[in-house]
Structure 1
Amino acid sequence: MVRAPFDGQVTEKSVAPGEWVAPGRTLFTLVDDDPLRIEMSVPEAAVRAIQKDQKVEVIAIARPGKTYTARITRIGGEIGKTRALIAEATLDPQSDLVPGMFAEAHVTIGETPKPVVPRTALVQRGKLWHAFAAVNGELKERIVQRGPDLDGDRVAILQGVAKGDQIVIDAKADRIEDGLRVVQPAAAREPTRDAKGPAAAKGAETAPGDPGRAQGGKE
């Protein structure tokens, strides 16, 4: 008779009834799925901000639009070769997730104000996001690091835009391109049309307390 060391589900069977087996051979793979846990890779810079019982928001790739809650229950003791620390979070019971699913784990580790622009101010080219800023009477195309979506069709920008920058509010408008000449009246603070066409812009706002996040994970 073979006894399971803990309650769980058999996910793989390596032998058949009546088969002879040698000592040490794996007979079954048993998964402890109550509760489910997610393993996270925490960047080295964020390690000091990670603590046990910290709240984790989990988004499974196979469950778009749904957010699950977990708590950090174990923190690794050393930085790995990838310059990250492995931490483990336990999901709230009765979730509809299945062992082996891939997911993103988000942990709030601090709050830092970030510039905010309208979603229409960004245009994606390949895997990169671009925005256009008015600098000394010309539009300059910038590669930006996009942050989380906010309410009111706004987007936080993690890198590439600073508070107060004059950003084109419709990056997909006709003839918007790097080097386009614009005129910025001091009172309106918006570029006006030139010989090539209109280029509307506005100053980048700042979102109060957009959270910094550590990400990772496979359940």
Structure 2
Amino acid sequence: MDKSTLRWMNVVCASCLLVFALGTSGCGEEAQSKDTQTDETEPAVPVEAAKVVSGEIAAYFSGTASLEAEQEAVVVAKEGGLVARLLAEEGDYVRKGQALAKLDDERLLLDLQRAEVGYLKAEREFKRKEEMHSKQIVSTEEYEVARSEYDTQKANFDLAKLAVDFTTVVAPISGVVSERMIKVGNMVQANAPVFRVTDFSPLLAVMHVPERELNKLKTQQGAIISVDALPGASFTGHVERISPTVDRATGTFKVTVEIRDRTNQLKPGMFGRVTVLYETRSEAMLIPKTAILYEGDDSSVFVIHDSIAVRQSVTVGLSDELSTEILTGVDVGDQVITIGQNNLRDSSRVDVIQ
């Protein structure tokens, strides 16, 4: 190969390399230009937002409980016998000492008459011997025998009278007859249950609260009660008692809430939800609960600055059904994303939907 041919081939190769280099450079600049254009034209993510406001928030503890009566008594027959009459029925309001039923007392009245005759006879004899003893006509021994006989006959008369009185079954407390256990003509034994009387005011809701709430709940704190049987209705009450001990097996302590229902709509045995207000804070920084993102023990929100969503860690305080108190991380007036933040990246461009 001569020198002229070799020189020509070198020129051709150099030209090819130059063209390749220029082509590659042009492609890189075009790709970079496309990337830059893509970043600048990234579409804004539509979101909804709300401002951090200052307001009042209340903290509640909610639990479930069945209602029960503060006072309830099972009425028993103090004397056995045949049920002659019913003087009260289920649903009737009765006062303490009011008659509920009457048992047959024919035999007991005869026993009372016999005991009365013996008592009156012993009384006359005792008075006669007492007068004679004062005049020293009879001995002290005769006087003591007469007094002992009088005491015995009086006791027999009192017992017979008490047995007759016991044939009238009376209410031991004021309240509503919640159960009748006998019918006319039934034979009942002494001490057999015959009625149940329940005092509906007050009613109690007994909750078993986790021990971590022990320092939050105090007596006399207000409570709101709602029951499944009366949808839409709510009743007020207060914490009446708090057990000082924690159940080892369940890790809970007993809290008793007292409810006074003047409308008489609540009944023992109803199942409902009890909400106890234990703390209120004013001038708290509040945001909607939906704005907060949780990752383990950490919480954060997206704050909007010039249409850019910036993720910000926050410290939360009290919460209610709609709002959460923010202790640190945002300021009043900041705009936080409430809907659409779950798939956002930090520093994403957003479009707030009004």
TM-score interval (norm. to shorter)? 0.5 to 0.7
Identity of aligned residues (%): 23
Name 1:89's counterpart in structure 2: 257
Q: In the alignment, residue 287 of structure 2 is paired with which amino acid?
A: V
Q: State the SS of the aligned residue for 1:45.
A: helix
The answer to whether 1:59 aligns with 2:225 is: yes
Aligned to 1:70: 237
Give 5+ residue unaligned stretches, structure 2.
1-167, 293-298, 304-308
Corresponding residue for residue 183 of structure 2: 16
State the alpha-carbon separation in 2 of the partners of residues 32 and 42 from structure 1: 26
Matches within 5 A, 1:176-215: 177-178=342-343, 180-183=344-347, 191-193=348-350
Q: CA RMSD in A?
A: 4.3
The change in CA–CA distance for 1:168 and 1:51 in structure 2 (over 3 A counts) is closer
Structure 1 pair 17–74 and aligned structure 2 pair: CA distance change class (3 A): farther
C-alpha distance 97-55 of structure 1, shift in aligned 2 (>3 A): farther
Deviation for aligned residue 1:6:
0.8
- Which consecutive aligned stretches of 4+ in structure 1 deviate over 6 angstroms post-superposition? 112-115
**SS at 2:214 equivalent:** helix
**Residue in 1 that maps onto 2:287:** 117
Q: What are the Cα deviations for residues 21-53 of structure 1, in whole angstroms up to 9, with x where unaligned? A: 45554433321112333323333233345444x
TM-score of the aligned structures, taking structure 1 as reference length:
0.53
* Mapped partners of 1:27, 1:102: distance in 2: 27
Structure 1 residue ranges without an equivalent (≥5) = 123-130, 184-190, 202-219
Q: Is the 8 A contact 1:115 1:163 kept in 2?
A: no
Distance in structure 2 (CA, Å) of the matches to 1:48 and 1:24: 46
The answer to whether 1:164 aligns with 2:333 is: no
- Relative to the length of structure 2, the TM-score reads 0.36
| Pair 1:148-2:315 in alignment | no
Aligned-partner residue type, residue 91 of structure 1 = I
SS of residue paired to 2:213 = helix
8 A contact 1:46–1:109 mirrored in 2? no
> Any residues of structure 2 matched to 1:91-106 within 5 Å, and which?
91-92=259-260, 94-99=262-267, 100-106=269-275
**One-letter code aligned to 2:224:** V
Name the larger-Rg structure: 2
Distance in 1 (alpha carbons) for counterparts of 2:245 and 2:194: 33
Q: Which has the higher contact order (CA 8 A, sep 6+)?
A: 2
Do the aligned residues in 2 keep the contact of 1:117 with 1:155 (CA within 8 Å)? yes
Post-superposition CA distance 1:165-184 (Å, at most 9, x none): 7953214xxxx654x4342x
* Count of residues paired in the alignment: 165
How far residue 77 of structure 1 moved from its aligned partner, in angstroms, is 4.7
d(CA) in 2 for partners of 1:66, 1:57: 14
Aligned residue in 2 for 1:128? none
Aligned 8 A contact 1:132 1:168 in 2: no
- The answer as to whether partners of 1:59 and 1:104 remain within 8 angstroms in 2 is yes
Q: CA deviation at 1:5?
A: 1.8
* Shift in CA distance, 147/44, structure 1 to aligned 2, threshold 3 Å: same
Question: Given the superposition, is the C-alpha separation of residues 119 and 72 from structure 1 closer, same or farther in structure 2, using an over 3 Å criterion?
Answer: closer
Measure, in 1, the Cα distance between the counterparts of 2:342 and 2:206: 44
Q: What residue identity is the alignment partner of 1:103?
A: G
Aligned counterparts of 2:290 and 2:226: Cα–Cα separation in 1? 27
